[in-house]
Structures are given as C-alpha cells and as structure tokens.
Homo-oligomer: A and B are copies of this chain.
Amino acid sequence: MTSNNDKPTAIMKATLQRMPLYYNYLIDRAKDGDIYASSTSIAQSLRLTPIQVRKDLACVSQNSGKPRMGFEIITLLKDIEIILGYNNVDNAVLVGVGRLGRALLSYSGFNGYGLNIVAGFDIDEDLIGIKINGKPIMPIYKFSQLVKSLNINIGIITVSSGAAQSVCNLMVSAGIKAIWNFAPIHINIPNNVILKNENLAASLASLSKELADTF
C-alpha cells in the first residue's frame, strides 16, 4: 500500500463492469439534488442487491458511507471517475468513415470521458478533405505520419470485415497500442497491443436471445 487510504489496485472484473451503471445512476441522483444514495436505493434501481452494491462501492470508495444515510454522491462519483479513468485524457484516430465511422466522429459524448477522436481516415477520395464535427478526414497513406506526429495510442476500426485485418496491421505498424474494433471478425494482433472487440450485431443478438429465453 503506497498510501494510507489507497484501495487495492486490483478490483474484481465483475465489479468494474458494473461501475458505469453506478456512475450513470449517481449522475441522475445528483441531478435530482440528492446528497446521499444508499445501497438499498441503488440496488433497487439497478436490479442488484444491497449487499452486492455495498461490496462494489467498498472497493472503490475512499470514504465510508454513513449508516442510515448512504454514500455521499459527489464524493462517490469522483472515486468512480478515477477508477474508470474518466479524468484521463486520450486521443484516438478512426479508420473507415462510413456510417458508423461518421456517427462516432460526430458523437460529442466522448469528451465527457476525456476522449477525443482527432481525425478519420478513409480510402474514398470523395471524403478526403472534408470535416466531420470539426475533425478532418484524411487519406490512409497519411495514417502513420499523423499517428506518430501526435503520438496517438488508440485506433478505432470501422471498416468492413474484409478490410479490418489489414487496417489493424497498418495501425500496429504505425505504433497504435490499443485497438477498438467494430468489425465482426477475428483479428490477429501482436502481444503488445490491446484489442477490444465491439460487435454491435452480436450485442443485439444477445438481447434477442435473452428475450426469447425469457418469454
């Protein structure tokens, strides 16, 4: 322990996955003007159990909750932001300026998490030179140059499945260290690169399946 009130650095994976749910709920409560939120009320709204919520929040909260009152919302939000890295600042680039690519470039919500997609890249010459949400669309051959000059570590793949692996290879060779991949195919990456697959169709399919299994 490097500090008297530091929490262990290793938080349970399942707990970490629930943090965004707590975060959004607490933002909601703060907007309602509430000062405290109890594990009972949080659990009720998020369909969890108070025991679960208390355990999770104990992992991330630097302060104790108050018996009978609950946790101080503002303080807890700050603790969660630290755990989730929302105060870190990071830039990313995106390859594949189709509909999804444009949606992501246009989305201003990333800023609230300290993230900024600075440019998009595409092979379609008709797109080169335009700006989407103030972000320039550049040709693929300038990818490495920009990534290196701005020291960007995160790449987003929004090309079609057939092109995803080669885009990944381009990103890796340019020095990208973390890839957010939307193409629903398996991508090979070297060991020193982090890959997060985001398969929207599989997400919807899992909801459909859950619906089928429930009703």
Contact = CB atoms under 8 A, between A and B. Distances in A.
Contacts of A106: 98-99
A104 B200 contact: yes
Interface in A164-215: 177-178, 180, 184-186, 188, 194, 196-212, 214-215
Interface stretch (A23-31, A48-56, A59-67, A122-130): A23-31
A35 interface: no
What is the predominant secondary structure among interface residues of chain A facing chain B?
helix
A69 interface: no
Interface in A63-115: 84-86, 88, 90, 92, 98-100, 102-104, 106-107, 109-110, 112-115
Contacts of A112: 184, 201
Contact of A212 (B25, B85, B202): B85
Given A115-B204, A201-B115, A206-B196, A27 B102 contact: no
Contacts of A99: 99, 102-103, 106-107
Interface of A: 16, 20-21, 24-25, 27-28, 45-46, 84-86, 88, 90, 92, 98-100, 102-104, 106-107, 109-110, 112-115, 153-154, 156, 177-178, 180, 184-186, 188, 194, 196-212, 214-215
Enumerate the 5 nearest inter-chain pairs by beta-carbon distance, A residue then B residue, closest first.
A85-B209, A99-B103, A103-B103, A113-B205, A178-B211
